[in-house]
Chain A
Amino acid sequence: MTQNPMHLRPMRRSGLTLRSTNAGFEVIDESGETVAALNDTGLALWRVCDGEATIEEIVRAAAQLFDAPVSVIEADISRAVEQFHAQGLLEVEPGAESS
């Protein structure tokens, strides 16, 4: 059965640390290499990727926070999570359907 992507619970990859820069923030891996640069919004999103919150929950909260339509926020967050994943910032727990 295909899992609803909104029910996935993105989780920050372990071993990554954060460094503040003049332009925003950098995520650093164990070897000290920069994995990605994040702005305030990206950092906020990455921080709530704790392996417990579903994308659906994150979208709903962000829609409340920015007083924006869920459809717009859903597209933005789905895109950002895909990008995080591609950058190696996340692991997505398989089989984690929300109750």
Chain B
Amino acid sequence: MSNTSIAIVDDQLLLATALARSLGDEDNLEIVGVFADLDLVFRAFDRVTPDLLLAASGFVRDPRFAELTATVRTLVLLKSDVEDSLTAALESKAAGGVPWTVPYPALVANIRAAIRGEVCVPRELLGGLLGHLIERNRQRRTEDARLDALSRRERETLTLLAQGMEIGAIADQLVVSRQTVRSHVRAVMAKLEVNSRLEVIQLAREWEADGTMTPGSET
């Protein structure tokens, strides 16, 4: 049976290295890299992508995490905010999570399950996670309804604002006057019930990060 290649990304390098040594002694598991951050992971993946990535839960809120899980099957090592982190990981299509505190054999069993394609969710967290996901989905529906209230032009303006563009640049991009863009921004603020352009930008960036609003999307 061929070896399964595994990489680990964890800012606690000492622990990650110790884990890598132990896993390297397991049958059919081969550690191909230990990284301290996602930049290093993506750089390494330009050359070779492992079969499985073990990622510390601190990375699940990184905007690039979903890109990571689309590239490699990823199992999250849950170190803190276990339910929140696991919910975010599953929403990003990770292979699940395993609490950092489980006995080592249980960790290895979860790794092998993830390699087999199973979704790893600690059973004692199932109820809490279901409740968490239901609540998150409700919030997202509310956000969708707010976005639906925007016209196509208002939504384009919102997207460009979130990208950091100034009024003038947005006007050039949309081929409209600055006055028109200001009018769109005022309408967006009113419909989203926020009081400043900064709040609009912050909201739009949050929605982009959690997938509610995709860059450049239109109603």
Contacts and interface: CB of A to CB of B under 8 A. Distances in A.
Contacts of B93: 67
Most buried by A among B119, B130, B133: B130
Contact of A48 (B121, B130, B137): B130
Q: Main SS of chain A's interface residues?
A: helix
Contacts of A65: 90, 119, 121, 126, 129-130, 133
Interface in B102-136: 119, 121, 123-124, 126-127, 129-131, 133-134
B127 A43 contact: yes
B210 interface: no
B131 A64 contact: no
Contacts of A27: none
A61 B128 CA distance: 11
Interface in B71-88: none
Given A53-B134, A57-B134, A58-B134, A64 B127 contact: no
Interface residues of B, number: 16
A64 B91 CA distance: 7
Contacts of A43: 126-127
A57 B138 contact: yes
A57 B137 contact: yes
B137 A67 contact: no
B137 A58 contact: no
A66 B130 contact: no
Interface string B168-210: 0000000000000000000000000000000000000000000
Given A40-B123, A40-B124, A67-B93, A60 B130 contact: no
A88 B91 CA distance: 34
Given A66-B119, A67-B93, A67-B119, A61 B134 contact: yes
A60 B136 CA distance: 11
Contacts of B138: 57
A66 B126 CA distance: 10
Interface of B: 90-91, 93, 119, 121, 123-124, 126-127, 129-131, 133-134, 137-138
Interface of A: 40-41, 43-45, 47-48, 50, 53, 57-58, 60-62, 64-67
12 contacts: A40-B123, A44-B127, A47-B127, A48-B134, A50-B131, A58-B130, A60-B137, A61-B130, A61-B134, A65-B121, A67-B90, A67-B93
